[in-house]
Amino acid sequence: MSVSPGTGRSSSELRNITSLPVQQPPTAAVLSPPSRPGHAMVCAPMAPPEGRPGKVSAERSWPPRCGRLSAAPDDGDSAKGVAEGRAEEAADVSSAACNGGLPHDPRPPTPERDEGGEAQPPGDGDAPHSDGQTVGRVLDVMPLAFAAPQSSAVDSADGSMEDGGYIADSLIAEGKGGRGTDQLVGDGDDDAGNGDGRAVGSRADDGELETKEDQSRNKRWSTPDENPPPKRRAVYARRRFPPGCRSAAVTGIAIGGLEPSPMFGRDESNVEIESKIEEVGEATETHNCKIQESQVVDRVVLDDFSGGQHVCDHPQNVITNYSPRRDFFEEIDDRTPLDEWMRVPLVAGDGDVRSECEESIPKGTPRTHPRGLVYVKKNGKRKLKHDSINMDSLNRSGKESKCAHHVATDQIEEKDNTGLTTKRVIIQALMAPDRGPWAQRKNSISSASKSLTSRNNVKEKDATQRQELLSKLIPSTSTRNDTREDQGGFSPEDDETPLAIDVHETSNGSCVTLPSCVASGNESVGTQSKVTKIDEKSLLHESDQEPLVTVDVKYEGSLQEGNLRTHVRGLVNLKSNSEHVGLVSVKVNVAQLDAIGIFEDGTPANTISSTQRRVTRSNMKVKQCIVARELKHDGIAKDPLDRSTKVSECGNILSTDQTKENDGRGLVPNTVVLALMAPDRHPWTQGKTSIASASQPLNRRNKYLTVRQGLCLPDISEGKESIPICVINTIDDMQPVPFKYITKVIYPPSYEKTPPKGCNCTNGCSDSSECACAVKNEGEIPFNLNSAIVYTKPVIYECGPSCRCPPTCHNRVSQHGPKIQLEIFKTGKTGWGVRSPSFISSGSFICEYVGEVLQETEAERTENDEYLFDIGRDSDDEEEGSQSSTSDIMNKDVGYTIDAAKCGNVGRFINHSCSPNLHAQDVLWDHDDTRVPHVMLFAEKNIRPLQELTYDYNYNIGQVRQNGKEKIKDCFCGSSKCRLRLY
Ligand SMILES: C[S@@+](CC[C@H](N)C(=O)[O-])C[C@H]1O[C@@H](n2cnc3c(N)ncnc32)[C@H](O)[C@@H]1O
């Protein structure tokens, strides 16, 4: 059932969807390569046969000026040459690339069975899969040429999808709708489909549930007879920012010397005010850290609070929203009603700031970003002056982003060691950098880390300790360390990166030696751990010994969804010739290991088994380890080279600090494994240390913790993305329905991209008046030097292959693909979703919405409309004076849609939210054709780790129709601002 606009379809988008079959042709099939039984691929047909009974039709309206309004009735005709040609070609070429023209689900429809609903729970469509997933099947993105019919395979997807609150779509008759269904209701019948007592027609007009923008939009479009129909544009690529935001935002080439604030400016400092520190990592220590650096300003202007609904009905300009019910990282939602938040006064002028940090830092793991409480007071009153310049305590002024709730300059990174200032107040510790320094280039890591003395002390002390120990313990054999980029720098990964164990036993039965593993590189000594990371390279030769001892590491746990850990602990079961010789507790960083799937089937001697309820059992080849062959009770361990290192002793188990939290069960007679030093940084973790921040304190009741619970796939992109994208499902046993993972949009076969006129810059595009691309962007580079977008436009022009500037040009951001670790996970109610284990700062590029570019006429015939995203410019864009491309020669009457049903990337899994944290931005870089821009998703606010990534599909509630009937789909975004309906 492809009735409504699919993903990304705007509320302003109404479509005349025609001939959409309710029943499926008996030729539909689920195909599976015969050579790989159990691996099924499900594909939908390109277009349904005409005249099939049971079809539904949808009426679609177009706004004036959208170009296709008039063309709507004869849309197919007007676009016939192209559309039909496209359709045919698509079937042959483009779609075949993804679909292979595979037949569709052969199941005949039944009255009970909702074609779309059961097939794809929260959505509709005929996607022959269940709940957007397959049961027990491995995602198969293999070429369809290998696919063969396997009609039975679909059965597993039928009827079992609705776990965890999925609501099946249903195409129902007037008055038969019900909450939680995708419905068609009688046109104009407010009661129809109101199974839960809601009035369909008025739901969107519920003033309490809508923003003003919503109201305005709905007012404009909700009554087609009275109001002009909506613009064609699907998702608003532009975010409605407060006045001045765009122009006031600091760009990367503006304001010399200052690191600009992120575009969206909703830095977390306002959240962090009086908020509880999120415990990160393993709770081994807690200490109070006095924030010594903060930006304290005299004055701040808050002339617009991003719509103002969220905050400042308070006459004294209360800035911060904080809900004690929400966790620390909870976003500031500018549309969240005030009463949802506890308002926190931020004071300018006389006041007092007191900051307190409390966090847990795993031993030996320097923390870069503490989080703490900031108390802002001013004689017990709330006060904030209006002004346009922030003056810090040194009377330095910083331009602020007006869209910020409060100032956010980089001066916090520099100084103001005045610490806590009592006379002038404001906020400013703990602002979000352009990008999490822990996750990116670390160019601002100093800001956060330096701001905490104790933190720095730890770090420096660690380094000193390590160096000292290294000099003592490690002979000059570690040549390979000399080239390490992180040499001398102790990042959070140093003690956290995955390590594993391999145990060998020598003939005397008393030694444990190094395995045949890769060298991990850095020699370091655990900070407090007294564990030496031995030069594995120098020991590799010893791995030639025939292992006599096997290691079986078992991880068990009871992690809950969203409660990730960076490290698990487990027991290493030492065996010698199948005889148990002991247990050793070890700790392994599982987040990285599992997520990137470096575990592989290994030899019995080097395996780690991961078992847990509903957790995939996996053999993980141990990659790195350090093994001491002897451990004395004086706390000295000796490695195979007879180098000794101090270790902790924990009962009978001689363990390192990494394991000392364990109960120390097991007996290890004279033989001990010491492990868990910091190995190399893995490519996928470079610059991505924030996984640590996703961790939670250990639940000490869980002695055995799991390896990344619910891991379905280590990398759904199968290596196509530079950063693996794993799939996590802790809800059920299903996996995503197979699709072809692509990283670039597929244009219609007949489409020829016209290279844009590039810039000739050789100076890094720093002169925005000279850079042709900047000129197209109205004289600005929309990205700052940290690659965060700083303002939005209808279309942003990045430099591209036609330009002389290098690929590193800071006006090339989104074209390089995702740089933030993303993962697909099963949500409770909205199918699969996307999140990141990393903190994402506002303005960061997330990913592109990739799929097949279809002409809309063709898109309307797609079976599965769940993954459609209309693209192209809307009329307003031009009215607002945005630069129009000179090569914009296309027929504006032709609309295009990206269909990611069969071919797509991680973007296809991003769900809708009425309070989104992403923003869709049209970007051009490899052509100037504004009909088919790239849809790039950027973070529009700071996003805490594991928070679902969402954008606003912008459906026009009440306007999605099929066969003249309103179609309804409930929204389960869970936002306090939820409009309750997707459409
Ligand atoms: C592009 S897909 C998103 C990924 C999808 N959840 C999946 O499992 O593949 C869009 C579909 O997801 C579902 N969806 C997304 N956001 C939703 C929301 N807030 N409430 C209900 N369903 C939602 C709807 O069925 C929608 O048609």
Instruction: Tell me the three-class secondary structure of 258-303, residue by residue.
Output: CCCCCCCCCCCHHHHECCCCCCCCCCCCCEEECECCCCCCCCCCCC
More reliable by pLDDT, 702 or 928: 928
The conformation of residue 80, written as its DSSP 8-state character, comes to I
**CA of 718 relative to ligand 1 center, distance in Å:** 23
**CA of 969 relative to ligand 1 center, distance in Å:** 10
Rounded to the nearest 5 percent, the helix, strand and coil shares of the chain are 15, 20, 65
Closest CA to 921 of 809, 755, 777, 801: 777
Give the pLDDT confidence of 376-391 residue by residue, as tens digits.
Answer: 333 333 222 222 233 3
Tokens of 152: 């039975």
Pocket test for ligand 1, best of 3, 10, 911, 949 (most atoms within 8 A of CB): 911
**CA of 865 relative to ligand 1 center, distance in Å:** 11
Cβ of 832 below 6 Å from ligand 1: yes
Residue 413's contacts (CB-CB under 8 Å, 6 or more residues apart) are 259, 293, 433, 444, 446, 447, 450
Cβ of 438 below 6 Å from ligand 1: no
Element (H, E) at 377: strand 372-377
Interface predicted TM-score (ipTM): 1.00
**CA of 8 relative to ligand 1 center, distance in Å:** 10
Pocket test for ligand 1, best of 863, 866, 915 (most atoms within 8 A of CB): 866
CA of 123, closest atom in ligand 1: 25
Question: Whose C-alpha lies nearest to ligand 1, atom 19?
Answer: 973
Q: State percent of the chain over pLDDT 90.
A: 16
Pocket test for ligand 1, best of 912, 913, 980 (most atoms within 8 A of CB): 912
Q: What is the pTM of this model?
A: 0.43
Cα angle 242, 935, 941; round to 5: 40
Tokens of 742: 């692509």
Compute the distance between CA of residue 8 and CA of residue 17 in angstroms, rounded to an integer. 16
- Res 815 pLDDT > 90: yes
Give the pLDDT confidence of 760-798 residue by residue, as tens digits.
Answer: 998 889 888 899 999 999 998 999 988 999 988 899 999
Tokens of 312: 């400042």
pLDDT value, residue 893: 62
Q: State percent of the chain over pLDDT 70.
A: 25
**CA of 866 relative to ligand 1 center, distance in Å:** 7
φ and ψ at residue 342, rounded to 5 degrees: -90, 120
Q: Do residues 458 and 366 make contact, with C-beta atoms less than 8 angstroms apart?
A: yes
Residue 835's contacts (CB-CB under 8 Å, 6 or more residues apart) are 822, 823, 825, 945, 946, 947, 948, 949
More reliable by pLDDT, 828 or 271: 828
How many angstroms separate the Cα of 120 from the Cα of each of 171, 737, 830, 901?
Answer: 13, 10, 10, 12
Compute the distance between CA of residue 56 and CA of residue 307 in angstroms, rounded to an integer. 40
- Res 969 pLDDT > 60: yes
Compute the distance between CA of residue 554 and CA of residue 583 in angstroms, rounded to an integer. 11
- Res 983 pLDDT > 70: yes
Cβ of 9 below 6 Å from ligand 1: no
Tokens of 831: 């199918």
| Look-up of token digits 């802002």 | 376
Closest CA to 914 of 866, 859, 875, 972: 972
Cβ of 911 below 6 Å from ligand 1: yes
Overall size of the chain counted in residues:
983
The conformation of residue 473, written as its DSSP 8-state character, comes to H
Cβ of 912 below 6 Å from ligand 1: yes
| Look-up of token digits 């956010």 | 408
- Which conformational region is residue 469 in: left (phi greater than 0), alpha (psi within -120 to 50 degrees), or beta? alpha
Cβ neighbours of 509 (radius 10 Å): 14
Partners of 937 in the β-ladder: 847, 920
Closest CA to 267 of 337, 202, 313, 320: 320
Cβ of 851 below 6 Å from ligand 1: no
Closest CA to 915 of 972, 866, 874, 841: 972
- CA end-to-end span of the chain: 15
Cβ of 132 below 6 Å from ligand 1: yes
- Res 572 pLDDT > 90: no
Question: Whose C-alpha lies nearest to ligand 1, atom 4?
Answer: 909
Cβ of 122 below 6 Å from ligand 1: yes
Residue 380's contacts (CB-CB under 8 Å, 6 or more residues apart) are none
Positions of E strands within 599-699: 606-610, 619-621, 630-631, 636-638, 644-646, 648-650, 653-655
Element (H, E) at 462: helix 453-473
Give the pLDDT confidence of 414-450 residue by residue, as tens digits.
Answer: 233 333 222 222 222 222 222 222 222 222 222 222 2
CA of 865, closest atom in ligand 1: 27
Q: Do residues 512 and 545 make contact, with C-beta atoms less than 8 angstroms apart?
A: no
Partners of 630 in the β-ladder: 638
Closest CA to 660 of 639, 670, 646, 671: 646
More reliable by pLDDT, 58 or 751: 751
Compute the distance between CA of residue 383 and CA of residue 314 in angstroms, rounded to an integer. 10
Cβ of 982 below 6 Å from ligand 1: yes
Cβ of 916 below 6 Å from ligand 1: no
Question: Whose C-alpha lies nearest to ligand 1, atom 23?
Answer: 830
Pocket test for ligand 1, best of 171, 826, 830, 835 (most atoms within 8 A of CB): 830
CA of 4, closest atom in ligand 1: 27
Most confident stretch, 44-53, 694-703, 822-831: 822-831
Tokens of 185: 């209701």
Question: Whose C-alpha lies nearest to ligand 1, atom 26?
Answer: 123
Q: Do residues 842 and 918 make contact, with C-beta atoms less than 8 angstroms apart?
A: no
Sign of CA pseudo-dihedral 534, 539, 544, 546? negative
How many angstroms separate the Cα of 698 from the Cα of each of 281, 286, 500, 729, 731?
Answer: 8, 13, 19, 21, 22
Closest CA to 608 of 628, 588, 592: 588
Compute the distance between CA of residue 943 and CA of residue 503 in angstroms, rounded to an integer. 41
pLDDT value, residue 970: 92
Compute the distance between CA of residue 202 and CA of residue 222 in angstroms, rounded to an integer. 10
pLDDT value, residue 375: 35
CA of 914, closest atom in ligand 1: 19
CA of 909, closest atom in ligand 1: 4
pLDDT value, residue 620: 29
Cα angle 245, 251, 255; round to 5: 110
pLDDT value, residue 873: 54
CA of 978, closest atom in ligand 1: 19
Closest CA to 363 of 494, 522, 556, 520: 494
Over residues 234-242, the mean pLDDT reads 33
Tokens of 838: 């990393």
3-state secondary structure 116-170: CCCCCCCCCCCCCCECCEEECCCCCCCCHHHCCECHHHHHHHCCCCCCCCCCCEC
Average pLDDT, the chain: 47
Closest CA to 254 of 733, 752, 768, 699: 768
Most confident stretch, 5-14, 857-866, 896-905: 896-905
More reliable by pLDDT, 525 or 971: 971
**CA of 94 relative to ligand 1 center, distance in Å:** 24
pLDDT value, residue 708: 54
Closest CA to 139 of 717, 624, 954, 673: 717
Partners of 735 in the β-ladder: 134
Cβ of 22 below 6 Å from ligand 1: no
Partners of 397 in the β-ladder: 391
Over residues 696-710, the mean pLDDT reads 36
Over residues 665-692, the mean pLDDT reads 26
> What number of helices (H) and strands (E) belong to the chain?
15, 43
Residue 423's contacts (CB-CB under 8 Å, 6 or more residues apart) are 349, 350, 351
Least confident range of 198-212, 345-359, 683-697, 922-936: 683-697
**CA of 951 relative to ligand 1 center, distance in Å:** 11
pLDDT band of 904, cuts 50, 70, 90: very high
Cβ of 44 below 6 Å from ligand 1: no
More reliable by pLDDT, 304 or 559: 559
Closest CA to 628 of 672, 660, 667: 672
pLDDT value, residue 892: 55
CA dihedral 89, 90, 96, 101 (to 10 degrees): -90
pLDDT value, residue 759: 94
pLDDT band of 709, cuts 50, 70, 90: low
Compute the distance between CA of residue 663 and CA of residue 656 in angstroms, rounded to an integer. 12
3-state secondary structure 518-572: CCCCCCCECCCCCCECCCHHHHHHHHHCCCCEEEEEEECCCCCCCCECCEEEEEE
Q: Do residues 363 and 391 make contact, with C-beta atoms less than 8 angstroms apart?
A: no
Cβ of 907 below 6 Å from ligand 1: no
Write down the domain spans for the chain. 482-686+689-709
pLDDT value, residue 879: 40
- Res 236 pLDDT > 80: no
Spell out a b/e string for 864-896, using b for 16 or more CB atoms within 10 Å of the CB, else e. bbbbbbbbbbbbbbbeeebbebeebebebbbbb
Closest CA to 658 of 670, 666, 650: 650
**CA of 653 relative to ligand 1 center, distance in Å:** 50
Cβ of 123 below 6 Å from ligand 1: yes
The conformation of residue 90, written as its DSSP 8-state character, comes to I
Residue 913's contacts (CB-CB under 8 Å, 6 or more residues apart) are 948, 950, 951, 952, 973, 974, 975
- Res 974 pLDDT > 70: yes
**CA of 820 relative to ligand 1 center, distance in Å:** 22
- Res 918 pLDDT > 80: yes
**CA of 713 relative to ligand 1 center, distance in Å:** 20
**CA of 909 relative to ligand 1 center, distance in Å:** 7
Question: Whose C-alpha lies nearest to ligand 1, atom 15?
Answer: 911
- Which conformational region is residue 982 in: left (phi greater than 0), alpha (psi within -120 to 50 degrees), or beta? alpha
Partners of 525 in the β-ladder: 532
Cβ of 866 below 6 Å from ligand 1: yes
Cβ of 972 below 6 Å from ligand 1: yes
- Res 305 pLDDT > 70: no
